[in-house]
Amino acid sequence: MNSEHINYSLSASQEEPAAVEEIANPLPRAVLRLSNHALLDGQWHFALDPDDRGLREGWYLGHDYEYVAQWPGSIEAHMAEARGQAQPTAWQDKVVAWYEREFTLPEVEEPLRRSMLQLTFGACGYETQVWLNGRQLRTIEGEDVHYGEYTSFSYELREENLHLVNRLTVRIADTMDAEITRGKQESHIYKRGGIWYQTYTGAVRSVWLEVVERNRLRSRLGVDSIIEDHLVRFNFTTRIHDPGCYTLRLKVTERGAPKGSPPLYTSEFPLRLEAGQKQQRVILEMPDAKLWSPETPNLYLLVAQLVDSEGYEAQIETHFGLRKIESRGKHVYLNNEPTYLDGILYQPGTATYEEMQRHMHAMQKLGCNMVRVHIAGIDPRIYNLADELGLLLWVEVPSPHTSSTRSRQNHRDELLRLLALIESHPSVVIWSLYNEDWGCQDIATNPETRRYIVDTYHYMQIEHPQFLVVDNDGWQHISQEGRLKSDLLTAHLYTPDLGRWQDLLDRLVRGELVGVAAFPLVIGDAFFYRRQKPLIVSEWGGFGFADYGGPQEGEERTNRIRAFKQELRRRPIAGDVYTQATNIEDERNGVIDPHTGELTVPPGLLNSRDFSPEE
């Protein structure tokens, strides 16, 4: 197989749109490899399994499917279509659905001596099991059942199990279980309505086949830069079937440099690798490298090659940037410069990739330099777009809805899955572990809950120092021996009254911890605020949502937002997050049309970085 050739002659599935190959990156992933793909999107056979009989009856060996469904798409929509309904029906306690389709074995230019076929689901769940020609597959991580619905997972297809025409069977199960990571989807505890949304699960992103090398770098990459020393730390994941001596070769060029341009920085690292999967950190010196920031989103192209003893190169490529984020005193520092965070809350919900693209551009037009992606996993290409636009991202772990040993384990698993896929993006600067106690309701009374959050905070500090971490956004931050276990002291403040707003902000900056937000700002040991942590009002406004009050639209709402924003900037506050970007279900408080991306308020309304406090 020729590693320089970008098309390995995979035959496309019949349902694949002809325009797919015209898109620079048609797949929901951020790291690319030198191979073509065959999308398996389109019509699949579909069946509901209300009594959960399919496993016992061996549906994966053969089943008469009653319906067809379009992949990608949610189970909720597929259930409604099967029943002839226009809208999704109320969710049930447990839903099990089966999908099946055939695909023709792709043609390759040479025998699969160095390579193999890989099957990848962009996201699917919450529980996913997959069979190929009646044989159950295990993920590369060794899972018979993949858990989670926000991140991708892959299967290597063994050549001896492949036929000319192959049958792919998928079982997806989800429940209203409050112990799994649900974000703002309804559960047994939080029913649909208000700020709790219709469940949206199942076959929610593309699925595809591609040729990958037997010995390769996986599309999981961590990037951490030390800007003072012009160093970048890369954390690669190797996947090896043939143990031996390899060379990891790195080449870095400027983003957009002409094809064939000599690299600006190169380095090689000899590795002896055993069979299996492991992580390896390496350091690259980049003297005179330009830093990434919202004002100058400088990106570099990394080409990473794993070279075997015969000189064969298995290659991936991605963009990255050098930046530093730090919580120091009352400011957030970006690249050692104090930076005010003009943020907005963003809940993509069921928005398409194209709609999310329009939303990101619109939020930048509003003057935001930061977007808080609210407890949801999104299409990985959106992180790439934020890198290119220079938008800072505050991301959050989709939360369970109850506190227990199992829910904490599910929470940690979800955190690790998300980290593996998005820790390379310079735009991602802040992580929230929890939001408003959802999934950790006993944070003030249960030492086990607090210990888990503190341990996770410490883990993030050590293993992922490129991020700021918030323990529990909004209130009830954890203090241990007077040390806040959060890089930011955040508060959610909602009032439509300007006088009340001024009073709340005055009390907040004076260090009053009780009676400012809905719950005490800090729990655990005593904490004394003396501007040693940046204050962030991480939710405010919400004008138009019934529970928050305030003007719903027009000039009055614009004036109210401007007046509230000015009060924030007159005080020693490090940033704020206006709620919110678009309408979503019952929350009718957006300032961007969710479909067209048009603003309903003037451009630049949330840009306060040039604001000068009045005397």
* pLDDT score, position 229: 97
Angstrom distance (rounded) from CA 12 to CA 209? 9
* pLDDT score, position 372: 98
Per-residue confidence band for 6, with pLDDT thresholds at 50, 70 and 90: very low
Identify whether residues 378 and 398 lie together within a single domain. yes
Identify whether residues 532 and 577 lie together within a single domain. yes
Alpha carbon 133 to its chain's center: 32
C-alpha closest to that of 493 among 472, 468, 477, 475: 475
pLDDT reading at 276 higher than 80:
yes
Q: Choose the final residue of a domain: 292, 321, 350.
A: 321
At 425, list the tokens.
Answer: 């993006």
Task: Return the amino acid letter for 531.
Answer: R
Mean pLDDT of the region 586-610:
95
SS3 546: coil
List beta partners, residue 46: 67, 99
C-alpha angle with apex 387: 34 to 223, nearest 5 degrees?
70
pLDDT tens-digit series, residues 123-148? 999 999 999 999 999 999 999 999 99
Could you tell me the CATH number of the domain that includes residue 219? 2.60.40.10
* pLDDT score, position 302: 97
Per-residue confidence band for 4, with pLDDT thresholds at 50, 70 and 90: very low
SS3 600: coil
SS3 211: strand
Mean pLDDT of the region 190-196:
92
Share of the chain above pLDDT 90, in %: 85
pLDDT tens-digit series, residues 461-519? 999 999 999 999 999 999 999 999 999 999 999 999 999 999 999 999 999 999 999 99
Mean pLDDT of the region 317-329:
97
Alpha helices, DSSP H only, in 30-128? 54-57, 75-82
List beta partners, residue 587: 584
Could you tell me the CATH number of the domain that includes residue 577? 3.20.20.80
Angstrom distance (rounded) from CA 223 to CA 270? 20
* pLDDT score, position 24: 61
C-alpha closest to that of 167 among 121, 105, 210: 105
Per-residue confidence band for 78, with pLDDT thresholds at 50, 70 and 90: confident
Identify whether residues 291 and 169 lie together within a single domain. no
β 67-71/42-48 pair status: antiparallel
Residue 3 lies in a domain: no
Cβ atoms of 150 and 174 within 8 Å: the answer is no
Residue 17 lies in a domain: no
Q: Tell me which DSSP letter residue 610 carries.
A: T
Cβ atoms of 331 and 468 within 8 Å: the answer is no
What is the average pLDDT value for the chain, to the nearest integer?
A: 92
Residue 8 lies in a domain: no
pLDDT tens-digit series, residues 356-415? 999 999 999 999 999 999 999 899 999 999 999 999 999 999 999 999 999 999 999 999
Identify whether residues 209 and 219 lie together within a single domain. no
Total tally of structural domains belonging to the chain: 3
Cβ atoms of 2 and 114 within 8 Å: the answer is no
Per-residue confidence band for 555, with pLDDT thresholds at 50, 70 and 90: very high
At 492, list the tokens.
Answer: 């959610």
pLDDT reading at 108 higher than 90:
no
Per-residue confidence band for 15, with pLDDT thresholds at 50, 70 and 90: very low
Angstrom distance (rounded) from CA 466 to CA 429? 7
Could you tell me the CATH number of the domain that includes residue 50? 2.60.120.260
Residue 602 lies in a domain: no
pLDDT tens-digit series, residues 294-321? 999 999 999 999 999 999 999 999 999 9
Residue 403 lies in a domain: yes
pLDDT reading at 239 higher than 50:
yes
Identify whether residues 431 and 519 lie together within a single domain. yes
At 252, list the tokens.
Answer: 């870095």
SS3 302: strand
* pLDDT score, position 13: 33
Identify whether residues 200 and 226 lie together within a single domain. no
Identify whether residues 464 and 397 lie together within a single domain. yes
Mean pLDDT of the region 21-27:
57
What are residue 270's phi and psi, to 5 degrees? Answer: -75, 135
Torsion of CA 416, 420, 422, 424, to 10 degrees: 130
pLDDT reading at 8 higher than 80:
no
* pLDDT score, position 368: 98
* pLDDT score, position 244: 98
Identify whether residues 354 and 310 lie together within a single domain. no
Angstrom distance (rounded) from CA 286 to CA 306? 21
C-alpha closest to that of 393 among 499, 498, 297, 505: 297
pLDDT reading at 39 higher than 60:
yes
Angstrom distance (rounded) from CA 357 to CA 134? 39
Identify whether residues 286 and 420 lie together within a single domain. no
β 392-396/244-254 pair status: unpaired
Identify whether residues 275 and 156 lie together within a single domain. no
Torsion of CA 557, 561, 564, 568, to 10 degrees: 170
Identify whether residues 47 and 100 lie together within a single domain. yes
Cβ atoms of 492 and 548 within 8 Å: the answer is no
Per-residue confidence band for 111, with pLDDT thresholds at 50, 70 and 90: low
Residue 152 lies in a domain: yes
Identify whether residues 198 and 106 lie together within a single domain. yes
pTM: predicted TM-score of the whole model, two decimal places: 0.94
List beta partners, residue 233: 224, 283
SS3 351: coil
* pLDDT score, position 19: 32
Residue 599 lies in a domain: no
* pLDDT score, position 614: 52
* pLDDT score, position 615: 36
Peptide bond before residue 270 is cis, with ω within 30 degrees of 0: no
Residue 329 lies in a domain: no
Poorest-pLDDT segment among 8-22, 234-248, 543-557: 8-22
Peptide bond before residue 118 is cis, with ω within 30 degrees of 0: no
Task: Return the amino acid letter for 81.
Answer: E
Full residue range of the structural domain in which residue 253 is found? 215-321
Torsion of CA 498, 500, 502, 504, to 10 degrees: -140
* pLDDT score, position 248: 98
Question: Who has greater pLDDT, 561 or 14?
Answer: 561
Burial 125-142 (b: 16+ CB within 10 A, else e): bbbbbbbbeeeebebbee
Q: Choose the final residue of a domain: 187, 213, 239.
A: 213
β 165-175/94-104 pair status: antiparallel
